[in-house]
Chain A
Amino acid sequence: MNAAESVETFDLDLGWLDQMGEWGTRAEPGKQGLTLADIQLGSYGDVPAHSDNLTGRPRGAGKRADGFRVGGYEVRDKQDIWLDNAAMIYEEAVNRQWSSATDVPWETIRPLPDDVEQAQCELATLLTEVEFVAGDVPARWVAATTPDYFEPRMTLLAQIMDESRHMDVFRKRALANGGGLLQRTGGTAGVVGSIDMSRDFTEMSSRLHISGEGAVLSIFRMGELMAYNEAEKIAYRLCAQDEARHVAFGVMHLRYIADTAPERKEEIHCYLDESERALLAGQQNPAAQQTPVSEALAILLGGGKDQFDDGYRKLLAIRRRQVKEYMQRVKSAGFGERFENGRANPELKTYAQL
């Protein structure tokens, strides 16, 4: 037997070569690299209004008759989760990742008066507590959504990553300057109408992205005004960048609903009714009325508990900004009529006109 004859030969069954998805796709990288938008070509860019994909098949891949139905996806209608710019938000999130360990100049933190340090730690305790609600809850919806809608799913996965960094950076802040964690607020509880318990993605998104994260975004944006060192300023600034993407997700999703499913508008208004009640009085908004954290904010803004009134005036101004930004988001999402027809919480108007 010669050497050639000794090589084992295997039989192949190449039938799968004829079962593949659309062929001849050649996405080209652009100035920003090869983006998700660049690969939306031919059938690969066709996002079905309803997904029959129960096998976890990547969108556009060839189907098999004998595939196991492993998905069990609750969200299979495009309007239930879609937004037009999810891919762009995802790409931005990937590019703007940062590290709380090394991108925050922790060495700039200096000892603070005890009342100010306590206020900072109270705020950090709340943020450590509430930030990961936006980690836990979107995760559940990722698992429940067909991979045909992978763009919003991936954007939510980026959000979960961001939120874990927020939880981490505020825990670090609380333990870095001679302080510690204080008392939990219970701001994210398992009650009816909470972000956690929502039974519908849009219901959850309206509470989480529009109201909850929107309120926190306003605080982060003003963070420089209550920061006492470069580390805190940078942490707020970086968190605000992330949070703005999360809020954009919610606004664009609601806008998609307003445009494509107007029959759901009344239902969405009901969620907003509930959100608005919680916006001013709930424990999740750091600037809500008369909570431990709003007291802490007034101390931080004023420069100490002896300047509480001065800080409180600034807090009112921030609350006004929060309300105006909330109203702007809701209008931008296509639900602005609630501010014209008297449906919105009248207290919002009071703050907006302060």
Chain B
Amino acid sequence: MSETRKRRGLQRRIDKIDAENIDYPTPSLAWMGRTHQWGTRVKPGNKGLTLSSLNVGHYGEIPEFWEDQTRMPRGSVAGPGGVPPIGYSVRAKHELWADCAGDLYEEAIQRRWAPTTDVPWATIEPLPEVVERAMCQLCTELCQHANVEIETITSWQQELSYGYHEVKMFLATETFDAARHFEVFRKRALCNGGGLGVESQGRVNRMILENRGGWTEAMAVLQLLRGTLTHTIYRHGMSFAHNDAEAIIFGKCLEDKSRHLAYGLDHLKYAINHQSDQALILEQVLGIGERHLVRELRDPPFRESLAIIFGGGIEGARTHGMARYQHLMGDFVRQYLDWSDWLGLRRREFVAPELKAFLEK
């Protein structure tokens, strides 16, 4: 509806009001002037008006602990008390913060994409049946990676204090990305004469979901351990893609996943630097997580589907397909250990032996 029509519509409604019988209230205007900082004038820069650019003066002061238990926007005036608490449990900055969250939020929005229209689905051609089955199995696995990401983050979102809104907003983009990943791999499985594969046993999924003692611990297994594996699969996916559609799917998912990892790593670094004992806790959590991952890797569907894709069929899977799978896992472990080193976590020394063995591949 045009603005003119809206104005006319409003005027018609106003005309119908019996102006003489309106009981005009006297405004108290008590809210006027109740501000911690007036005169703020943030200007858009090269990237527009970004979230991080708003962090000026009082509005950029990010407290170490967020006392408020309501949705008071950071920098606003609390006003009279007596507002019953909503009950946020994650209220210390070190429990969730990452300096890059605001920028990652804006980047996620700028790099948005739509599986429905941005993937050239028409480029998908029939594959040998066993290869199609392997692709469908991999898609099923990746749907579950996305599902666990969704369920883990959404179960925490209501617990994260409002004072650290950059993180909450970035996480909104991450779960939206994960919904898109769930969608795009389901679509890939169902568009080329195949179907979904068999579900994962869920050993690592359970390990991630049950790491709910703290947000930081959940991030360690979701982002650093599982996230690095998913990221590695997407990266290799661009090389084993059979068509443009798959290349774009893996490429777009890789961009998204890189942001998720950036938040996860930045947060872990912040938590480790600001909380004594955090590194030791994370080493424990990751050590347990690695053992669950090792057991899951013994399960055939995941590794054999990748081997078949790499090998171009079952015979190839038995030889160079499985060798390339091991190379992929080697890449994963190398990356995982590099990032652990950067975080100051002693995983290179103590990583599960079965994972360490991939380093030679």
Taking Cβ atoms with an 8 Å cutoff, the residues of A that contact B are 7-17, 19-29, 32-36, 39, 41, 44, 55-58, 60-64, 66-68, 70-71, 90-91, 94-95, 97, 99-102, 104, 106-107, 115, 118, 121-122, 125, 128-130, 132-133, 135-137, 139-140, 142-143, 147, 150, 153-154, 157-158, 160-161, 163-165, 167-168, 171-172, 174-191, 196, 221-222, 224-225, 233, 290, 292, 295-296, 298-299, 305, 308-309, 312-314, 316-318, 320-321, 354
Contact = CB atoms under 8 A, between A and B. Distances in A.
Contacts of B73: 125, 128-129, 171, 181, 184
B281 interface: no
Interface string B76-103: 1111001111110000000000000000
Residue from the set A121, A143, A150 with the largest chain B CB neighbour count within 10 Å: A143
B84 A157 contact: no
B155 interface: yes
A177 B42 CA distance: 7
A157 B199 contact: no
Contact-size category for B: 35 or more
Interface of B: 1, 3, 6-7, 10, 13-14, 16-19, 22, 24-25, 27-44, 47-51, 54, 56, 58-59, 69-73, 75-79, 82-87, 105-106, 109-110, 112, 114-117, 119, 121-122, 130, 133, 136-137, 140, 143-144, 147-148, 150-151, 153-155, 157-158, 162, 165, 168-169, 172-173, 175-176, 178-180, 182-183, 186-187, 189-203, 205-206, 209-210, 300-301, 304, 307, 314, 317-320, 322-323
B154 A314 contact: no
18 contacts: A9-B318, A12-B307, A19-B197, A22-B196, A33-B116, A34-B187, A56-B144, A61-B198, A64-B199, A101-B106, A139-B153, A171-B51, A171-B73, A176-B42, A189-B86, A190-B87, A295-B31, A317-B10
Contacts of A60: 195-196
Contacts of A66: 201
A123 to B, nearest CB: 11
B190 A164 contact: no
B147 A56 contact: yes
A10 B304 CA distance: 10
Contacts of B147: 56, 58, 147
A181 B75 contact: yes
A183 B76 contact: yes
B191 A137 contact: no
A199 B262 CA distance: 35
A62 B10 contact: no
Given A22-B195, A101-B48, A354-B17, A308 B27 contact: yes
B179 A157 contact: yes
Contacts of A11: 318
Given A132-B162, A180-B40, A39 B190 contact: yes
A175 B56 contact: yes
B312 to A, nearest CB: 14
A293 B24 CA distance: 16
A172 B76 contact: no
Give the interface centre of B44, B140, B196 by most chain A CB atoms within 10 Å: B196
A26 B193 contact: yes
Given A101-B50, A102-B110, A177 B70 contact: no
A97 B22 contact: no
Contacts of A180: 35-40, 58-59, 75
B194 A190 contact: no
B179 A164 contact: no
B198 A184 contact: no
Contacts of B158: 136-137, 139-140, 196
B203 A10 contact: no
Given A99-B110, A101-B47, A161-B173, A55 B197 contact: no
Nearest to B79: A183
A27 B186 CA distance: 11
Contact of B79 (A25, A178, A184): A184
Contact of A139 (B13, B47, B154, B162): B154
Contacts of A298: 27
Given A67-B201, A136-B158, A142-B150, A21 B195 contact: yes
Contacts of A121: 35
A24 B56 CA distance: 57
Contacts of B200: 64, 67
A98 to B, nearest CB: 8
A12 B314 contact: yes
A199 to B, nearest CB: 14
A78 B116 CA distance: 25
B164 to A, nearest CB: 12
A303 B209 CA distance: 53
Nearest to B109: A99
A146 to B, nearest CB: 10
Contact of A183 (B31, B137, B143): B31
Looking at B13, B30, B37, B172, the one whose CB has the most chain A CB atoms below 10 A away is B172
Ranked 9 nearest A-B pairs via Cβ: A101-B48, A186-B83, A62-B198, A317-B13, A33-B116, A143-B155, A139-B157, A292-B31, A102-B48
Contact of A17 (B130, B140, B172, B307): B130
A70 B36 CA distance: 46
Contacts of A168: 51, 105, 169
